Amino acid sequence: MLTCRAVWKKLAPLARASSTVCRQNVRRAGWNNARTPLCVPVAHMSTGPVGGGSDNLKYALLVGASFVGGLTYAVITLKGDQKRHVERMAEISSRKQKSASQIQTEPAAPLETKLEAAAAPDAEAAAPSETAEPPPVDEPLAEASAEEAAAPLTDAGVEEAADSKPSLPSHAPYLLIGGGTASFAAARSIRARDPDAKVLIVTDEPDLPYMRPPLSKELWFSDDPSVTETLRFKQWNGKERSIYFQPPSFYVDAEELSGAENGGVAVLTGRKVVHMDVRGNKVKLDDDMEISYDKCLIATGGVPRNLQVIERAGEEVMKRTTVFRKIDDFKSLDKVSRNAQSITIIGGGFLGSELACALGRRSTESGLEVIQMFPEKGNMGKVLPEYLSNWTTEKVKKEGVKVIREAVVKSVSYKDDKLEIKLKDGRVVRTDHIVAAVGLEPNVDLAKSAGLEVDSDFGGYRVNAELQARSNIWVAGDAACFYDIRLGRRRVEHHDHAVVSGRLAGENMTGANKPYWHQSMFWSDLGPDVGYEAIGIVDSSLPTVGVFAKATAKDTPKAATEESGTGIRSESETEDTASSAVAPAAPAPVVSHRDEYGKGVIFYLREKVVVGIILWNVFNRMPIARKIIKDGEEHVDLNEVAKLFNIHED
Amino acid sequence: MSSVRQEGKDKIIFVTKEDHETPSSAELVEEDPNDPYEEQGLILPSGEINWNCPCLGGMASGPCGTEFKDAFSCFHYSKEEVKGSDCLEQFRTMQECLQRYPELYPKEDDAPSSQASEESASAESASAEASDPAAGSEKDSDPTLPNTESSAES
């Protein structure tokens, strides 16, 4: 024990000196008693006393006494230390048995490093009474107790598997904030690349990670009356799947994460990260629990926006308004749709149009009135060029939706058991329930405490091309405003982007250093007859070139999924090599359409370079579209580029 | 005959099948098979296995990830005449693990061990396809459950 050694070192010279002196005195005394005075010269030490015998004796006694006294003091102190140490250990082990959340209040990291430094030279037994060589023996007591506090914490970390009651982890090598698509994709990526990685996902939702697209599409088309409970949906090809990425057995319990031999992914549900300490590499949850990390991903997604006029309209209106994003929103809207007589969807984008079509379908059975209103001239007005937006609006109407275009809501009030929506141009709409699908507010709550930059143009955390915000912190998914090498800085709110960026963040968290390069895609279905896939910047304010062919009955989303044998469309490219496509049916007769835009390709241009492509009712050609965007070339004749897609084939 | 229409800033072209029969004159940039930024297939240019390949589904990242990696690595580097015949132990261990999670890895119809080696074979041929740039077979991200999907992923 170092204390002993330190003490001994201090006492040793004194001891040595006094022992020599003693020996010398003894010798002299001996000789004085000896018969034969052998006049052997005695080597005098500098410390040796010269002088008379009685003086010598007095001195000898003095030195001896002080030596013994010193020894006694040392022994007493050490015994006291040991006693204190034993008491302390007992106290701490009794503390260990208390509830998990109370254990960790001090930061483990600085104490751990301190301990490591001290532990390096000495004992394997993590001796708690190690100190860093302090000169006085009594000083290290205070330090020792601090070190002792740290020791059981590391002990707890090391011996958690052996512990009778494992606790929630106070440290996660990989901490993912948010439990959505991006987070799950990152977790999978990390586990694939870092063997035995321990990944902790913290989410404020009560659910395990799930995918969002079916909430506004497939789940509504299910025949199963218990779909709100099972959350399973049957795809066109008959295969059934849950919206959850993985069943609960895939995940490791959070308490067992630290001790898991091969690592794993653990999900802590119902906890919100409220504070982030970047310098200390740790976060604080809403229950005051602290978790430190080595690498952290922020994938907090966003919160649906609502109209200000609704928020100011009072409780009766708010009670009858749904903002749609989570599983609970789906459940409650499903319930409403079975009881209400009229539902109005405010918003003409992806979510609004998909929900309108889904509810419109239901309306044919139940007599439910479905209204959709938006400020633009047509559905997807901000995405599709005007002619296509108009065509799509007609399709949405065919799904049973009453579409009110160029509608700006002025006020909403609750009157006579109905919601009354007054538009700026004077029109009034009376309805039972409102669904607000007016955009997403990216969640940047942690920006302030973490000192992270927020983008003023697109919202979200500002990150570089490798999705990194600062050292050891990455952001992916809806909340990430990232630099796209090809297309410039942007923020994307699509499912496939969450997967792509989550995967990339996971790769970079495990040392890959790759920029965002594989362009994500998105898709939308408006009923079973209209569907499109898109990639890149698809903004209706850009000049477009559309190349169309006449559609046959085969060119529908339904046919596409049947052929590729999959459900979610972005999957079909992954399964490409694995499964063989189902042989297409005999060629269907050409169906004559009143409309002209059966199927085709639409190019979005920015200074003659294609930055976005929509594949309109043309499927399984995304790799070609991706290639064209990646090249970033100026093509003189886009009709020639369109030939690459073989739009007349299946 | 193709027809062209202009509506403001948007150009609309209608083409018949015959219009598109002549090969395209559009030029595409040549692919670099060793581009580090690109999504990799199952086998990396170095010869190693890309565990993050979407084609593997969640096999390498799930609870049996370690066992799967051991078995598949052994198979990949096996120099035996019957490839993988020296890896029976690893495959058996993996099989035992898969059986512990029936929810994640539902039982297939074929015998599991032979199917595993079949999958490895098909995955390897898939990777050969994947590394062919002209095929444009970049894989999209895989956002879904592996177990209900195609054979290569179970």
A340-381 pLDDT, tens digit per residue, is 999 999 999 999 999 999 999 888 888 899 999 999 999 999
Q: Are residues A297 and A176 in the same domain?
A: yes
Cross-chain Cβ contact A193/B52 below 8 Å: yes
Half-sphere exposure of A541 (CA within 13 A, CB side): 2
Work out the minimum CA distance from A516 to partner chain B, whole angstroms. Answer: 8
Q: Are residues A268 and A199 in the same domain?
A: yes
Encode pLDDT of A558-569 as tens digits: 666 665 554 566
Q: If you average pLDDT over residues A151-170, what whole number do you get?
A: 54
Lowest mean pLDDT among A12-16, A71-75, A606-610: A12-16
The pLDDT, as a whole number, for residue A224 is: 86
CA of A637: which chain B residue's CA is closest?
B26
Q: Are residues A431 and A448 in the same domain?
A: no
Residue A271 lies in a domain: yes
The pLDDT, as a whole number, for residue A567 is: 52
CATH code of A280's domain: 3.50.50.60
Q: Does B30 touch chain A (CB under 8 A)?
A: no
- Total residue length of chain A: 650
Residue A101 lies in a domain: no
Residue A298: which H helix or E strand, with range? Answer: strand A290-298
List of residues 6+ apart from A113 with CB closer than 8 A:
none
- Residue of A577, A631, A637 to mutate, interface with B, max B Cβ within 10 Å: A577
Q: Is the pLDDT of residue B31 over 70?
A: yes
Highest mean pLDDT among A64-73, A314-323, A526-535: A314-323
The ranges assigned to domains in chain B are 56-107
Pairing of strands A198-202, A171-177: parallel
Work out the minimum CA distance from A127 to partner chain B, whole angstroms. Answer: 35
Lowest mean pLDDT among A96-105, A222-231, A468-477, B23-32: A96-105
Half-sphere exposure of A216 (CA within 13 A, CB side): 23
Residue A21 lies in a domain: no
Q: Which residues, numbered 81 to 110 in chain B, qualify as contacts with chain A under a Cβ-Cβ cut-off of 8 Å?
A: 101, 103-104
Average pLDDT, chain A: 80
* This prediction's pTM: 0.72
The pLDDT, as a whole number, for residue A142 is: 41
Q: Are residues A274 and A376 in the same domain?
A: no
Q: Which of B38, B65, B139 sits opposite A574 (nearest CB)?
A: B139
Q: Does B133 touch chain A (CB under 8 A)?
A: no
Q: Which of B7, B25, B69 sits opposite A640 (nearest CB)?
A: B25
Which of A382, A416, A440 is the last residue before a domain boundary?
Answer: A440
Q: Are residues A447 and A436 in the same domain?
A: no
Q: Is the pLDDT of residue A595 over 60?
A: no
Cross-chain Cβ contact A574/B55 below 8 Å: yes
Q: Does B37 touch chain A (CB under 8 A)?
A: yes
Q: Does B77 touch chain A (CB under 8 A)?
A: no
Check residues A642 and B45 and name the one with the higher pLDDT: A642
Cα B55 to Cα A377: distance, rounded to the nearest angstrom? 42
Q: If you average pLDDT over residues B4-33, what whole number do you get?
A: 88
Work out the minimum CA distance from B37 to partner chain A, whole angstroms. Answer: 6
Q: Is the pLDDT of residue A33 over 50?
A: no
Based on the number of CB atoms within 10 Å of its own CB, is A145 exposed (0-12), middle (13-18) or buried (19 or more)?
middle
Cα A350 to Cα A374: distance, rounded to the nearest angstrom? 12
Q: If you average pLDDT over residues A415-420, what whole number do you get?
A: 94
Encode pLDDT of A258-311 as tens digits: 999 899 999 999 999 999 999 999 999 999 999 999 999 999 999 999 999 999
The pLDDT, as a whole number, for residue A5 is: 57
Phi-psi region at A634: left, alpha or beta (left = phi > 0; alpha = psi -120 to 50): beta
> What is the token pair recorded at A73?
């003091």
- Residue A588's domain comprises 521-645
Q: Which of A242, A500, A644 sits opposite B141 (nearest CB)?
A: A500
| Total domains in the fold of chain A | 3
CA of B142: which chain A residue's CA is closest?
A571
H runs (alpha helix) in A233-385? 308-311, 315-319, 327-339, 350-366
Interface predicted TM-score of the whole assembly (ipTM), two decimals: 0.74
Q: Are residues A429 and A485 in the same domain?
A: no
What does each C-alpha distance from A536 to A496, A609, A626, B12 come to in angstroms? 12, 12, 8, 20
Encode pLDDT of A372-414 as tens digits: 999 999 999 999 999 999 999 999 999 999 999 999 999 999 9
| SS3 of residue A474 by DSSP | strand
Encode pLDDT of A217-268 as tens digits: 999 988 888 999 999 988 767 788 899 999 999 999 999 999 998 999 999 9
Q: Are residues A435 and A331 in the same domain?
A: yes
Q: Which chain A residues contact residue B37 at CB under 8 A? A: 514-515, 517-518
- Give the residue from A278, A265, A109 showing the smallest Cα distance to A194: A265
Residue A128 lies in a domain: no
The pLDDT, as a whole number, for residue A16 is: 54
The CATH number of B56-107 is which of 3.20.20.140, 3.10.250.10, 1.10.287.2900, 3.20.20.70?
1.10.287.2900
Cross-chain Cβ contact A250/B63 below 8 Å: yes
Check residues B122 and A445 and name the one with the higher pLDDT: A445
The pLDDT, as a whole number, for residue A53 is: 57
Q: Are residues A353 and A424 in the same domain?
A: yes
Q: If you average pLDDT over residues B56-69, what whole number do you get?
A: 86
How many residue contacts between A and B have a Cβ separation below 8 Å? 204
Q: Which chain A residues contact residue B34 at CB under 8 A? A: none
The pLDDT, as a whole number, for residue A256 is: 92
Based on the number of CB atoms within 10 Å of its own CB, is A201 exposed (0-12), middle (13-18) or buried (19 or more)?
buried
Encode pLDDT of A527-573 as tens digits: 767 889 999 999 999 999 999 986 455 566 766 666 555 456 655 44
Q: Is the pLDDT of residue A617 over 50?
A: yes
The pLDDT, as a whole number, for residue A580 is: 38
> What is the token pair recorded at A358?
């889904």
Residue A34 lies in a domain: no
CATH code of A623's domain: 3.30.390.30
Q: Are residues A352 and A391 in the same domain?
A: yes
Q: Are residues A560 and A635 in the same domain?
A: yes
